[in-house]
C-alpha cells in the first residue's frame, strides 16, 4: 500500500472538524487498506506504532528531525530552523523545502506503508550509543524518498505532533461501518477494545474473523483492561437510592490506582492511564507475588504511601516521590507503599468482568492472602444512610478521600472503560487546612510492630474539656517521632502508666496501655474532621460524631511547661473546626 494514500487521507481529515465527516474519511482509508496492514494503519492514524500500554514511543526530538530534514533537502540546518520559526511546524517546513528539491525526484522510490512503519519501528527501538545517528539516518532515508506531503506527515508522526484528532471512539465507529456491517456493531467492538486496550488488535480480529471473532474476545494477561470509573453524589441518602437501597461501601484510598497482572512469577502493573509502571513499584510487585494465591490473576488495587514505622496511611503527595526513574531503591525505603485490593477481573483463565460485584468480591476474598501491607479494601455492606455517613467520616479520619459505594445488584458487572452509576464516589465538597498546632494530653498508647517493636506505635491524644474536667480523645498519633523520641517516651510515660482507662478520660477506643493524664505534647495535623471514633466535642456538630485531627504529627515539642488542664480545649478544637468551614465558605 502506497503511503501517499495515507497522507492524502490525513490531509482530508485535517480539513474537517466534523466528526461524522472524519469518520467517513477514515472509513474510506480503512477500506483501501489491505487486511494485513489494518492494525498498522489504525496505530499510525493515532500517531502510534503499538497500543499505548506497550510503551513504545517513536519520540524523535525536534532538533534531530531538523537535522534529518536538512540532510534530505541538502539545506543548512540554520535555514530549516529559520523557516521553522515562521511556520511553527516542522512538518510544513519539510514539505516546503522538499517541494523546492526537484533534482532529487530522479532517485524517487515510492514509499509504502510497510517501509514507513518498519523504519519508524526501527527508530523507536534504536537505543544505546550511536542510536541518535541511526535515527537521523533512518529518517533521512525516508524523507529522501518521500513526496512533500508524505514528508509533512512523517515528520509530524516522528515528533509526536500528528494530532489528527481521531479519538478511539471515531476509530471504532469507522471500523464498525467499514467491516462490521454498520454502526450498530460499535458496541461489540467497544467491549473488545475495553478489555484489551488495543484498537489495532480489534481491527485485525474484525477484518480476519468478523464479528464472530470479536465476540470471542477474552480478557488476556498482559493486556490492560480499561478502568471502570465512578459517578459522584454528595449524600448517603442519594447514593443508597441510586444503588437500589443497598451497597458495598469501600474506603476510597488516596493513592495510585494499579491494575496488576500476575502470570506465575511474572507481574505487570498498569496505571490508571494504562501505562506500564512495573519498574516504579518493585515492592508492589513483590506484594502481588506473595499475597495473590492463584497462578494467574488480574486484580485492581490502590497503592498508598504508608508511614514506614507505623504502617499508617500518608497523604497522596508522599506517593508522588515514587514517580521517578532513578533512585528507586532509596525511594522504596523512604516512601514504602501498601496495597488495598478492590476488584478482581480474571482468575486462572476465567474472565470475571461480566460477573456481578458480590461474586467478584467473594473471589477477591478467596484469592487474597492478607498481610500488613496487602489488604482487601475496608468495606461495609449497608442499607442505612446514617451508618454510611459514619463509615464515610471514619474513612476521612483514617486518611482516605471518602468512599466508593458499589452496586450489589445482578447487573453490577465490571463496566470496563465506562464511568457509570454502578460505582458512586462520596467525597467531601471541601478541603481545608489546619494551620495551627495544638497541645494534647497523652492518655494512652498502642504497641508498635516491626521497626517499632518494643516501643509505642502510636499515642492516644486528648483535648481538655473544661466544663466536665475530662479529657476527650481527638487522634492517634504515630508520626513525627524520632528514634530518640521513641526511646524516651516509654521511659517518660512509665511512671504514669495505669491498669485501665483513667476516670477523667473519655475514650471510645481501647488503648493497649493507659496513662494518667499528665504529659502534654505539641501536634500539627492536616485538618480537623468529623469522627465517629473520637469523643472530642461528641454530638456538638452532629449527632453521633466527634472531631478528630487527620494526619496528626508530633512537632518535636514536649510541652513540659503545661499542665494537662492547660492543653488545647475541646471548645478550641470546635472553634478551629468551625473556622475551617467558614474559610471554605468564604473562598
Residues forming the site for ligand ATP (CB under 6 A): 229-230, 250-253, 257, 272, 302, 342, 377, 404, 425
Nearest distance from C-beta of residue 302 to ligand ATP, angstroms: 4
User: Who's near 308: CB < 8 A, 6+ residues apart?
Assistant: 333, 334, 335, 336, 451
Three-state secondary structure call for residue 506: strand
Q: How far is CA 450 from the centre of its chain?
A: 29
Instruction: Report which secondary-structure segment, H or E, holds 173.
Output: helix 168-179
Instruction: Write down the catalytic residue from 135, 152, 252, 476.
Output: 252
Nearest distance from C-beta of residue 225 to ligand ATP, angstroms: 13
Answer yes or no: are the C-beta atoms of 558 and 482 closer than 8 Å. Answer: no
Three-state secondary structure call for residue 475: strand
Q: List the one residue out of 442, 451, 438 whose CA is nearest residue 476.
A: 442
Strand pairing category for 379-382 and 374-376: unpaired
Rounded distance between C-alpha atoms, residue 392 and residue 211, angstroms: 45
Q: Give the Å distances, CA to CA, from 378 to 184, 320, 340, 390.
A: 41, 23, 8, 14
User: Who's near 396: CB < 8 A, 6+ residues apart?
Assistant: 402, 428, 529, 530, 550
Nearest distance from C-beta of residue 285 to ligand ATP, angstroms: 18
CB atoms within 10 A of CB 356: 17
What residues does 445 pair with on adjacent strands?
459, 513
Nearest distance from C-beta of residue 340 to ligand ATP, angstroms: 7
What residues does 203 pair with on adjacent strands?
none
Nearest distance from C-beta of residue 201 to ligand ATP, angstroms: 24
Catalytic residue list contains 71: no
Instruction: Report which secondary-structure segment, H or E, holds 424.
Output: strand 419-427
Nearest distance from C-beta of residue 311 to ligand ATP, angstroms: 18
Residue 5 or 229 with smaller CB distance to ligand ATP: 229
Residue 229 or 486 with smaller CB distance to ligand ATP: 229
Residue 289 or 425 with smaller CB distance to ligand ATP: 425
Residue 252 or 360 with smaller CB distance to ligand ATP: 252
Euclidean distance between the first and the last CA atom of the chain, given in angstroms as a whole number? 60
Nearest distance from C-beta of residue 128 to ligand ATP, angstroms: 36
Burial level of 582, CB count in 10 A (0-12/13-18/19+)?
Answer: exposed
Q: Give the Å distances, CA to CA, from 94 to 46, 119, 148, 327, 570.
A: 21, 18, 7, 40, 71
Residue 9 or 404 with smaller CB distance to ligand ATP: 404
Q: How far is CA 338 from the centre of its chain?
A: 14
Instruction: Read off the DSSP letter of residue 536.
Output: T
Rounded distance between C-alpha atoms, residue 245 and residue 151, angstroms: 60
Nearest distance from C-beta of residue 535 to ligand ATP, angstroms: 28
Phi, psi torsion values for 348, nearest 5 degrees? 40, 60
Rounded distance between C-alpha atoms, residue 59 and residue 55, angstroms: 11
Three-state secondary structure call for residue 72: helix
Burial level of 265, CB count in 10 A (0-12/13-18/19+)?
Answer: exposed
Instruction: Report which secondary-structure segment, H or E, holds 69.
Output: helix 62-73
Nearest distance from C-beta of residue 262 to ligand ATP, angstroms: 19
Rounded distance between C-alpha atoms, residue 477 and residue 349, angstroms: 45
Residue 116 or 303 with smaller CB distance to ligand ATP: 303
Residue 37 or 228 with smaller CB distance to ligand ATP: 228
Nearest distance from C-beta of residue 426 to ligand ATP, angstroms: 10
Residue 179 or 251 with smaller CB distance to ligand ATP: 251
Q: Rg for the chain (alpha carbons), in Å?
A: 30
Residue 272 or 488 with smaller CB distance to ligand ATP: 272
Rounded distance between C-alpha atoms, residue 56 and residue 49, angstroms: 7
Residue 343 or 522 with smaller CB distance to ligand ATP: 343
Residues classed as catalytic: 252
Amino acid at each position: 500500500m502506497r503511503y501517499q494514500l495515507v497522507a492524502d487521507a490525513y490531509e482530508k481529515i485535517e480539513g474537517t472538524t466534523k466528526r461524522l465527516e472524519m469518520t467517513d474519511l477514515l472509513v474510506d482509508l480503512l477500506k483501501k487498506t489491505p487486511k494485513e496492514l489494518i492494525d498498522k494503519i489504525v496505530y499510525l492514524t493515532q500517531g502510534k506504532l503499538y497500543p499505548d500500554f506497550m510503551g513504545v514511543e517513536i519520540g524523535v526530538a525536534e532538533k534531530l528531525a531538523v537535522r534529518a530534514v536538512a540532510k534530505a533537502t541538502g539545506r543548512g540546518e540554520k535555514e530549516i530552523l529559520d523557516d521553522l520559526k515562521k511556520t511553527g511546524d516542522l512538518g510544513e517546513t519539510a514539505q516546503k523545502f522538499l517541494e523546492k528539491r526537484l533534482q532529487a525526484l530522479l532517485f524517487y522510490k515510492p514509499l509504502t506503508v510497510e517501509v514507513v512503519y518498519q523504519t519508524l519501528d526501527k527508530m523507536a527501538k534504536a537505543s544505546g550509543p550511536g542510536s541518535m545517528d541511526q535515527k537521523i539516518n533512518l529518517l533521512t532515508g525516508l524523507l529522501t524518498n518521500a513526496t512533500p506531503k508524505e514528508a509533512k506527515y512523517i515528520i509530524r508522526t516522528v515528533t509526536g505532533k500528528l494530532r489528527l484528532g481521531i479519538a478511539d471512539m471515531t476509530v471504532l465507529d469507522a471500523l464498525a461501518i467499514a467491516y462490521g456491517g454498520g454502526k450498530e456493531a460499535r458496541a461489540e467492538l467497544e467491549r473488545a477494545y475495553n478489555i484489551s486496550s488495543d484498537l489495532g488488535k480489534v481491527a485485525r480480529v474484525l477484518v480476519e474473523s468478523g464479528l464472530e471473532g470479536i465476540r470471542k474476545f477474552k480478557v488476556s494477561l498482559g493486556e490492560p483492561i480499561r478502568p471502570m470509573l465512578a459517578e459522584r453524589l454528595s449524600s448517603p441518602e442519594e447514593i443508597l437510592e441510586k444503588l437500589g437501597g443497598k451497597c458495598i461501601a469501600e474506603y476510597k484510598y488516596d493513592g495510585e490506582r494499579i491494575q496488576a497482572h500476575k502470570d506465575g512469577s511474572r507481574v505487570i502493573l498498569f496505571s490508571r492511564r494504562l501505562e506500564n509502571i512495573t519498574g516504579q513499584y518493585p515492592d508492589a510487585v513483590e506484594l502481588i507475588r506473595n499475597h495473590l494465591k492463584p497462578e494467574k490473576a488480574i486484580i485492581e488495587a490502590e497503592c498508598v504511601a504508608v508511614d514506614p514505622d507505623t504502617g499508617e496511611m500518608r497523604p497522596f503527595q508522599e506517593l508522588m516521590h515514587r514517580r521517578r526513574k532513578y533512585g528507586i531503591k532509596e525511594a522504596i525505603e523512604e516512601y514504602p507503599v501498601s496495597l488495598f485490593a478492590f476488584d478482581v477481573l480474571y482468575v486462572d483463565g476465567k474472565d470475571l468482568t461480566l460477573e456481578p460485584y458480590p461474586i467478584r468480591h467473594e473471589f477477591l476474598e478467596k484469592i487474597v492472602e492478607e498481610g500488613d501491607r496487602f489488604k482487601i479494601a475496608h468495606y461495609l455492606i449497608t442499607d442505612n444512610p446514617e451508618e454510611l455517613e459514619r463509615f464515610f467520616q471514619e474513612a476521612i479520619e483514617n486518611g482516605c478521600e471518602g468512599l466508593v459505594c458499589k452496586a450489589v445488584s445482578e447487573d453490577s458487572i465490571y463496566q470496563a472503560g465506562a464511568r457509570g452509576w454502578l460505582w458512586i464516589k462520596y467525597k467531601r465538597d471541601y478541603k481545608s487546612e489546619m494551620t495551627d498546632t495544638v497541645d494534647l494530653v497523652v492518655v494512652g498508647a498502642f504497641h508498635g510492630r516491626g521497626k517499632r517493636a518494643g516501643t509505642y506505635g502510636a499515642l492516644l491524644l486528648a483535648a481538655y474539656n473544661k466544663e466536665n474536667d475530662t479529657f476527650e480523645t481527638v487522634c492517634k498519633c504515630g508520626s513525627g517521632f524520632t528514634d530518640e523520641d521513641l526511646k524516651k517516651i516509654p521511659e517518660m510515660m512509665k511512671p504514669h502508666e495505669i491498669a485501665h482507662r483513667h476516670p477523667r478520660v473519655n475514650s471510645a477506643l481501647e488503648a493497649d496501655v493507659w496513662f494518667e493524664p499528665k504529659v502534654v505534647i505539641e501536634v500539627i495535623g492536616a485538618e480537623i474532621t468529623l469522627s465517629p471514633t473520637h469523643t472530642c466535642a461528641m454530638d456538638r456538630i452532629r449527632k453521633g460524631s466527634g472531631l478528630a485531627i487527620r494526619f496528626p504529627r508530633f512537632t518535636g515539642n514536649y510541652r513540659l511547661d503545661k499542665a494537662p488542664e492547660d492543653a488545647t480545649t475541646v471548645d478550641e478544637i470546635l472553634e478551629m473546626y468551625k473556622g475551617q468551614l467558614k474559610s471554605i465558605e468564604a473562598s
